[in-house]
Chains A and B, each alone.
Chain A
């Protein structure tokens, strides 16, 4: 009942506060695609384009890293250089990436990760002001991290969360302050050899978040947020995030990403590892809204131990090519995985998204819900993998893929794979492809709503199962983003 009331309040509040027509006619360029020229003029350090061992050595030296990390980077680079490009997925697009035409490390200001907003140079503050970050921090976030190019430039954590022993640092600082904890878990789920892009990240990683939630601590009500901003042309952003939720703790972490629009491509290649100890709960929410010249090739993986829950809530907007398949290893009994994703692909975009769940222990359960929208010549793919090991008895798997096509040239593909080695499991799988129905459009327009807005309402309704999982501020923002995409003025 209280849940009903909450939903009602939210629906009415949402309807009262949102201005559904506010951003029609504005576009990505204006809202997110601006370029901070002053920041670029003031870069503290901008290396040369291209990738080799010198670049890696330089990054490691600037960061004064321990020897093991330095060796890890070089070894990873060797793996990257020797590994061929993937032979699956959108190889045509992928093979257009020119790895030698990318900046692998840009340090925007001398002293990174300032914890006082006033100490951040104005020209960088402007960017995050425009993106609404300080406002969100004041309103409801427990902590904020803001990364500009390769480094986190601002960082905060509310005092009560500090007192409760929560650690929220950028990854570089995490390595300095908690070397043992980092060494124990870093790359434990995603070794450099996992895939070519994970290898590249392992070689040149910079920034990202390091989080540790002590036993029994609940951060749930005030999420921690990281914001990733690419500013430069031909930039490569390689943040690395490691989150450890100790036994019985709870965390909601949110990340957002944007970039200016350039004519040539940039690369975002992150690695994210989540460790949920016994009875822990982690929700990791992503709203990425990249400009359409970004290759977004991200590896995300989590482990859920006994009775732990991991939820990936993943919103994919923008980018030229996104390849992202958040994964959960269900290694302890009664562990749960929930992977809820949406993807929006317009002309010139390929959203290759999905999920991966590995059931290792008995009584584990997973639910994958994937919603995609393809508009005009956009391509959305669902690529999913569910594996149940022998002995993972009484496990439950549910996969639901829902594709909405806007226009006769839009494309949606599904590549579901199931490898089930245990007989005592319950598996559900559903896939649907649909179009916006004429009858629904007529119903809405007969109430005075224009055809464009009616279409937008239906599309936002289609992704509502996703939107309703977001904090309200983000839900409203996501609806606006969809609106921008629908008006077709992006890029």
Chain B
């Protein structure tokens, strides 16, 4: 870790997130530097997906307090599309189906958005197919409608395909491992490892330790009730696997406090 750059890609200080006036993330701080992989682990409802969505700019999730900086820039000043073009990416837990819009057309629009309207797109087909081959996605998917009738595993692979093509600086992968059988998990994990370089950062949001056997994190954070309660190396994930989240449960404060 010592030879990695010190540049902070994502810098969260005391971030709170609210959904419909309910606070779901409470004063969370986290810094991810170039070259690092962080795993954010927590049970359903711990606030990890809310944090992911809020960072990407989902209109229902508000960063209500604290500061969130993406490469030194305050993200709350940016719309979702601007955050994406600034280098942020979110692989969704539940990717949306968009009937009638083909994967090929969608990815082309996204790439032009990133590269500029004057970008030379003549090699696009090759680029798309190469990425699909790499992730073992049937080329037929280029002509299919986005996530329309896709299985859970196919949806997750499509998310990684987008990660590959858009090459973000900071990628948040929200439960990309859930719903995958072991073969699909290995392909997705290989994809993530292939994507990862000393220049980008990954926040791997997950419920289970399983994917961490294939994508080795530099740091593991345990999230409970809207905040990080423990940070450590990969061994933390193993502790979780053995003892469950209860081990990290902070001492209960008085009810109603």
Identify the A interface with B (CB < 8 A). Answer: 4, 7-12, 14-16, 18, 20-21, 437-440, 442-451, 453-454, 457-458, 460-465
What separation, in Å, do the CA atoms of A12 and B143 have in the docked complex? Answer: 7
For A9, the chain B residues whose CB sits under 8 A away are: 143
A16 touches B110 (CB 8 A): no
Q: Is A462's CB under 8 angstroms from B100's CB?
A: yes
Known: A21-B117, A442-B57, A461-B99. 13 other contacts (CB 8 A): A8-B143, A11-B102, A11-B104, A15-B105, A15-B107, A443-B92, A444-B98, A451-B79, A454-B81, A458-B100, A461-B101, A463-B100, A464-B145
Chain A residues with CB under 8 Å of B162's CB are 447
Closest chain-B Cβ to A29's Cβ sits at a distance in Å of 23
* Bound Cα distance from A465 to B102, whole angstroms: 12
Closest 3 pairs between A and B when the two form their complex, measured CB to CB:
A461-B100, A464-B100, A8-B143
Query: B124 an interface residue at 8 Å Cβ cutoff?
Result: yes
The answer to whether B95 and A443 touch across the interface, beta carbons within 8 angstroms, is yes
Cβ contact of B125, chosen from A16, A21, A442, A450, cutoff 8 A? A16
Instruction: Check B142 against A442 for contact (C-beta < 8 Å).
Output: no
A2 to chain B, nearest CB (A): 12
Residues on B with C-beta less than 8 A from A442 are 56-59, 80, 96
Judge whether B81 and A450 touch: CB under 8 Å: yes
How far is A9 from B140 in the complex, measured between Cα atoms in Å?
9
Contacting residues, chain B, for A15 (C-beta < 8 A): 102, 104-105, 107-108, 124
> Which residue in chain A gives the minimum CB-CB distance to B81?
A445
Q: Please indicate the chain B residues that have their CB under 8 angstroms from the CB of A443 in the complex.
A: 92, 95-96, 98, 146
Docked complex: B138-178 residues within 8 A CB-CB of A: 139-140, 142-143, 145-146, 162, 166
Which B residues are within 8 Å of any A CB, using their own CB? 56-60, 79-81, 83-85, 89-90, 92, 95-96, 98-110, 112-114, 117, 121-122, 124-125, 128, 139-140, 142-143, 145-146, 162, 166
**Cα–Cα distance between A11 and B139 once the two chains are bound (Å):** 11
Instruction: Give chain A residues whose Cβ lies under 8 Å from the Cβ of B125.
Output: 12, 16
Let me know if B101 and A457 touch, CB within 8 A. yes
Task: Tell me if B113 and A453 are in contact (CB < 8 A).
Answer: yes
Please list 11 pairs of residues, one from A and one from B, whose beta carbons are closer than 8 Å in the complex, sorted by A's number: A8-B140, A8-B142, A10-B143, A11-B142, A20-B112, A438-B59, A442-B56, A445-B80, A448-B85, A457-B98, A463-B100
Closest to B113 in A: A448
CB A23 to nearest CB in B, in angstroms, measures 12
Asked if A448 and B114 make an inter-chain contact with CB atoms under 8 angstroms apart, the answer reads yes
Instruction: Give the CA-CA distance A458 to B59 in the complex, in Å.
Output: 18
**CB-CB < 8 A to A461: which residues of B?**
98-101, 145
- Chain A residues lying within 8 Å of B145, measured Cβ to Cβ, are 461, 464
A451 in contact with B143 (CB, 8 Å): no
Least Cβ–Cβ distance between B120 and chain A, in angstroms = 11
Cβ of A447 and Cβ of B166 under 8 Å apart?
Answer: yes
A463 to B85, CA, bound (A): 28
**Nearest residue, chain B, Cβ from A454:** B81
Complex CA distance for A442 and B98, rounded to whole angstroms: 11
User: Would A16 and B142 count as touching, CB distance under 8 A?
Assistant: no
Docked pose: A316 CA to B8 CA in angstroms:
53
